[in-house]
Structure 1
């Protein structure tokens, strides 16, 4: 009966989390179209590779900084100090977090929606379900909201199941059969995924040259490309705490994020429009343009995007690191295939996504899932499963892309606001 009672709340949470994602994404898309298309066209700015990019991102940084400084709850916690999921935030922090997220997505900041959306949905779910009459524990509400949001973002409950399985294993959770523990979250993830499919959710799959079929050499190629992508991404991980310390050393969020926006604007001019925004649409554009680019030009895109990711996350913008990391992996994969044409693009891209995502997420299951859905070819899964063996031996000794929060749990920006 316990599992039966979970069905209706889980379904409702799944739909609610998907609608939250859709609503905030739609608002960000509308503002993005206004700022990057309609206004430049009306004022005669023909391309984003101009001062307009610097202006928009600098203003975005100032606005996000003002939101963090003066909004109730200071737009939640600094994502640089957390993993994908955080404890439920107070409701008063959610409007500011939503505003900071929408501004960042619309303004071209190189971060995805995953961390803030999960934080918003976790807080709302806990507020609704964690009442004495309903009796849902906080941990259960967090699991439902996280699964529902991940299911909605990827339009399939599979990613949520993989992430939860890994979470249960790391936490030593042995309270009953595994599928009993996954039951409610999977219902929520399924409801979120179905809602997104009904609303024509975007897909992670990109257009690639036809994969000729499995070859023994593909396993070695995948392993090499994955490790190279991981080592490149490691440079960003090592730079991350230094960049975070520099920006937060400014002590005021408006100043820090305004400067961060300025740097992002300059990087956007250097890398071009493909290195802006969260990276989902941009990696699809890259798949159509990669054939006409040199491998060095494609690799420059990956490096600029990595730099933009480190600056955006280090400066304090509200957003996740998985989406832009997938773009980095796609770019590294196309560069590898262009440099060594004997390596099929599908093998190189999937392996590079695997290497980049596993470094940033520290989740082997999530990295395997994302690598598989980007190329959308199940024949590559065995090669990826073998390629992750040497990759994981390398990655498990790498530091995480995270900084330690202050002892009192508050960010330096919040400490300034309290003063």
Structure 2
């Protein structure tokens, strides 16, 4: 009898420890600095938000979230960000519709304007998060400083450290960064052992997450009613809701080039951004004040009382928040789409619970967030991780992994919510 002489493919050779050790100190420094920048920008934005949305309307005798004040504030935010984009050196970076999480390094002169535009956006109420611009700022700073302090280290290392550190700081855990890195490396066909490749970025992400945790104690757990052992109804709900949420997110993706094109025809940032702010104010008048801002605090308010709104109210907030994110990303506000997508998915899931009480809130919220994030970000691991941590229920993991499969089939290979320089969508 002939014997099978085929040999298993050799595993990737390990990297000697002496090769990895020089990257440890840069990883630690970048991790701390990236987290401190995130905390500083967030802290300034929160204080400014308190002044704009509480102190000022109270002093003027205007309702904090009255229709008038929301329209005025969002339009004024468009004017303020428009001035930064128009007049500040570097114009707050490239058109945000053309950028994603993997930021290209920018010259140092561009970064102050980008930070200022981001802080004004976060305080003023547009439906975007801080992730994209803060990653870009940290990448630019890390590369600029790293080349001067340790010029022998490759530039790509500084970029990877800054991206991982910022993701770790934003999510308060290095796991999200590790998942993103592994996905990106697989896409680039990275050579060598996985843990050797992610060693330094994971260290930066861990330090960034720990710094954030020690200073601000963030949490993504929405404290939803716990899920016991999942049943067939839960599996069916997760499959259906994740797929429907992915289709909902794809509506925004398909509309993105057209909405962006409409604002581009306004040509000047001092026209496009104030008009965008006005539209956002009118949307907030329809959806209510919970559809303002990046959405993380607001989704916590929704989850704290799943029975507190009707199915119609949840549906309205879902559609308004998705439209607000689409407009804010199209008209030139600097920001990311992960956190508002979490709000959209959570409101969608709670709407399903309100319509069909058999859909448990934890299942509805997690499946909704999973589907929307898959459509908007096209980051499978990040979407699965975010959906899972919102409910902090180990029983959900298997449901979400299964539900991600049909949802992914609905979005993969299709256009993304990112444009090329000529305005055509990336695929």
Q: What is the TM-score with the length of structure 2 in the denominator? A: 0.93
Q: CA deviation at 1:122?
A: 0.3
Tell me the SS of whatever aligns to 1:333: helix
Q: CA deviation at 1:339?
A: 0.9
Aligned to 2:249: 233
Tell me the SS of whatever aligns to 2:306: helix
Between 1:99-108 and 1:394-403, the stretch displaced more is 394-403
Equivalent residue runs for 1:71-220 within 5 Å = 71-131=88-148, 133-174=150-191, 176-220=192-236
Unaligned runs of 5+ in 1: 408-419
Pick the aligned partner of 2:311 from 289, 295, 299: 295
8 A contact 1:49–1:272 mirrored in 2? no
Q: CA deviation at 1:116?
A: 0.5
**CA distance in 2: counterparts of 1:109 and 1:164, whole angstroms:** 29
**CA distance in 2: counterparts of 1:267 and 1:170, whole angstroms:** 38
Pick the aligned partner of 2:351 from 318, 327, 335: 335
The alignment of Structure 1 onto Structure 2 pairs a total of residues equal to 406
Tell me the SS of whatever aligns to 2:282: helix
- Provide closer, same or farther for how the CA distance between residues 290 and 216 of structure 1 changes in structure 2, counting only shifts above 3 A: closer
Q: CA deviation at 1:132?
A: 8.0
1:259 aligns with 2:275: yes
**CA distance in 2: counterparts of 1:11 and 1:236, whole angstroms:** 38
Unaligned runs of 5+ in 2: 1-17
Aligned to 2:38: 21
Aligned to 2:374: 358
Pick the aligned partner of 1:367 from 383, 396, 399: 383
8 A contact 1:159–1:369 mirrored in 2? yes
Q: CA deviation at 1:207?
A: 2.7
Aligned to 1:379: 395
1:276 aligns with 2:292: yes
Tell me the SS of whatever aligns to 2:91: helix
Q: CA deviation at 1:230?
A: 0.8
**CA distance in 1: counterparts of 2:168 and 2:30, whole angstroms:** 11
Q: CA deviation at 1:131?
A: 3.8
**CA distance in 1: counterparts of 2:416 and 2:186, whole angstroms:** 19
**CA distance in 2: counterparts of 1:22 and 1:58, whole angstroms:** 26
Tell me the SS of whatever aligns to 2:104: coil
**CA distance in 2: counterparts of 1:346 and 1:290, whole angstroms:** 10
8 A contact 2:165–2:201 mirrored in 1? yes
CA RMSD of aligned residues (A): 1.2
Q: What is the TM-score with the length of structure 1 in the denominator? A: 0.95
Structure number with larger C-alpha Rg = 2
Q: CA deviation at 1:365?
A: 0.3
Q: CA deviation at 1:216?
A: 3.0
**CA distance in 1: counterparts of 2:235 and 2:229, whole angstroms:** 12
8 A contact 1:329–1:356 mirrored in 2? yes
**CA distance in 2: counterparts of 1:87 and 1:312, whole angstroms:** 21
Tell me the SS of whatever aligns to 1:202: coil
Alignment deviations for residues 363-387 of structure 1 (CA, whole Å, 9 cap, x no partner): 1100000001111112100110111
Tell me the SS of whatever aligns to 1:399: coil
**CA distance in 1: counterparts of 2:413 and 2:317, whole angstroms:** 27
Tell me the SS of whatever aligns to 1:292: coil
| Runs ≥4 residues deviating over 4 A | none
Aligned to 1:222: 238
1:319 aligns with 2:335: yes
8 A contact 1:290–1:298 mirrored in 2? no
Aligned to 1:410: none
Q: CA deviation at 1:321?
A: 0.6
8 A contact 1:53–1:269 mirrored in 2? yes
**CA distance in 2: counterparts of 1:246 and 1:48, whole angstroms:** 28
8 A contact 2:228–2:395 mirrored in 1? no
Alignment deviations for residues 284-343 of structure 1 (CA, whole Å, 9 cap, x no partner): 111134312111210110100000000000001000011100000000010011111111
**CA distance in 2: counterparts of 1:102 and 1:132, whole angstroms:** 29
**CA distance in 2: counterparts of 1:310 and 1:190, whole angstroms:** 32
8 A contact 1:49–1:268 mirrored in 2? no
Tell me the SS of whatever aligns to 1:136: coil
